[in-house]
C-alpha cells in the first residue's frame, strides 16, 4: 500500500481538536489541493468560504444540529455549489444577447446545473480532506450545513446560484488517532457491482447488516424503543427532527435556484 492509499485507509473523522492553530502555510496547501480537484468542464462550479469569525462559527454550531465542537474547530470551510460566478460572467460577455441573435434556445441555471455544481463542491471537499490528513490535520464533515438554508444564506450573504453543500471542520487531534476505534465499512460485494445495479435480496441484506445487529445485541436495547439495528437507524436518523429540516431546507434551495 503506497503512502496515498495509507492516508485514505487510516483517515477517520475527528471532532476533538487541540488548541493548536492551523497556520496559513498549511491552509494554503489544503486550499491548493481543493482547487486541483477534478471539475466538470474545468469550470470549478464551487466556492469555498472560510468561517474565521468566532461569532459565525458559534452560530454554525447552533444551526448545524447544535454541535458545540464546530465553534471550537481551528479551521472551518463551507463548500458551496456555485453557478453564480459563471452566470454573472455570461451576462458580462453578453452571452444571452448573442444567443438570442443566433436564435438559440435560452435558459437559466436549472436543477441539472445545481447537481453538477454539487458534485464539483464535494469532490473539492474530499481533496481538501485527504490533503489535510497527509499534513497531520484531521477533519469532520458536517452535512447539517444543508439545514436552515435561509439562515446560512443570510450569514454568508449568498446570491441565488450559490448554496452550501457541505462543511468541514479541521484541526490537529487532541489525542492520537490510534486511540479512536476504526469504523468498519460494508463489505465490497454489497456496494459494488458490474454492468447493472444489484438490488440486495433478504438474505444479502441480513448478511450485510449482521455485524451491526451482533454489536447491538451485545449492548442494552436503545432508549428509542428499537428492537434491531434497522429500527434503531430509522428512528435515530431517518425520521429524526434534523432529517425533516434537511429535506425542507434543500427543497428551498432548489426552489430558489429554479425561480424566475
| CATH code for the domain in which residue 82 is found | 3.40.109.10
Residue 133 lies in a domain: yes
Give pLDDT, residue 179: 63
Distances (CA, A) of 47 to 89, 108, 163, 239, 246: 15, 19, 9, 31, 21
- How far is Cα 111 from Cα 103, in angstroms, rounded to an integer? 24
pLDDT category, 1, cuts 50, 70, 90? Answer: very high
Give pLDDT, residue 175: 82
Give pLDDT, residue 89: 99
Residue 96 lies in a domain: yes
Residue 113 lies in a domain: yes
User: Is the separation of the CB atoms in 224 and 232 below 8 Å?
Assistant: yes
pLDDT category, 202, cuts 50, 70, 90? Answer: very high
- Tell me the DSSP string of 104-156: -------HHHHHHHHHHHHHHHHHHHHHHHHTT-EEEEEGGGGS-HHHHHHHT
Residue 211 lies in a domain: no
> How many CA atoms lie within 13 Å of 176's alpha carbon, on the beta-carbon side?
2
Residue 48 lies in a domain: yes
User: Is the separation of the CB atoms in 156 and 172 below 8 Å?
Assistant: no
Distances (CA, A) of 21 to 104, 114, 175: 52, 34, 15
Looking at residues 102-128, what average pLDDT do you find? 98
Give pLDDT, residue 178: 66
Residue 251 lies in a domain: no
pLDDT at position 13 over 90: yes
Q: Which domain holds residue 73?
A: 3-183
Residue 103 lies in a domain: yes
Residue with cell string 450545513: 145
Among 135, 108, 118, residue whose Cα is nearest residue 32: 135
- Cα(first)–Cα(last) distance of the chain, in Å? 52
Residue 206 lies in a domain: no
Computed over every residue of the chain, the mean pLDDT equals: 96
Looking at residues 214-230, what average pLDDT do you find? 86
- How far is Cα 166 from Cα 98, in angstroms, rounded to an integer? 36
Looking at residues 23-37, what average pLDDT do you find? 99
pLDDT category, 177, cuts 50, 70, 90? Answer: low
How many folded domains does the chain comprise?
A: 1
Residues 145-163: pLDDT tens digits? 999 999 999 999 999 999 9
Give pLDDT, residue 221: 72
Amino acid at each position: 500500500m503506497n503512502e496515498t492509499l495509507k492516508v485514505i485507509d487510516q483517515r477517520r473523522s475527528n471532532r476533538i481538536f487541540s488548541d493548536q492553530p492551523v497556520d496559513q502555510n498549511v491552509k494554503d496547501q489544503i486550499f491548493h489541493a481543493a482547487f486541483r480537484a477534478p471539475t466538470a468542464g474545468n469550470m470549478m462550479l464551487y466556492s469555498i468560504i472560510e468561517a474565521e469569525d468566532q461569532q459565525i462559527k458559534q452560530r454554525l454550531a447552533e444551526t448545524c444540529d447544535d454541535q458545540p465542537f464546530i465553534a471550537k474547530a481551528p479551521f472551518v470551510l463551507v463548500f458551496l455549489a456555485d453557478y453564480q460566478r459563471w452566470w454573472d460572467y455570461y451576462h458580462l460577455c453578453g452571452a444571452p444577447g448573442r444567443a438570442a441573435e443566433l436564435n438559440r434556445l435560452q435558459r437559466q441555471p436549472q436543477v441539472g446545473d445545481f447537481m453538477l455544481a454539487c458534485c464539483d463542491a464535494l469532490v473539492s471537499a474530499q481533496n481538501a480532506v485527504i490533503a489535510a490528513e497527509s499534513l497531520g490535520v484531521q477533519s469532520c464533515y458536517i452535512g447539517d450545513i444543508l439545514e436552515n438554508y435561509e439562515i446560512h444564506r443570510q450569514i454568508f450573504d449568498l446570491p441565488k446560484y450559490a448554496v452550501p453543500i457541505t462543511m468541514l471542520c479541521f484541526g490537529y487531534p487532541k489525542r492520537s488517532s490510534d486511540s479512536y476505534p476504526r469504523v468498519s465499512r460494508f463489505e465490497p460485494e454489497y456496494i459494488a457491482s458490474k454492468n447493472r445495479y444489484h438490488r440486495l435480496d433478504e438474505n444479502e441484506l441480513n448478511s450485510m447488516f449482521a455485524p451491526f445487529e451482533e454489536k447491538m445485541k451485545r449492548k442494552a436495547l436503545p432508549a428509542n424503543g428499537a428492537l434491531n439495528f434497522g429500527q434503531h437507524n430509522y428512528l435515530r436518523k431517518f425520521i429524526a427532527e434534523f432529517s425533516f429540516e434537511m429535506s425542507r431546507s434543500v427543497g428551498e434551495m432548489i426552489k430558489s435556484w429554479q425561480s424566475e
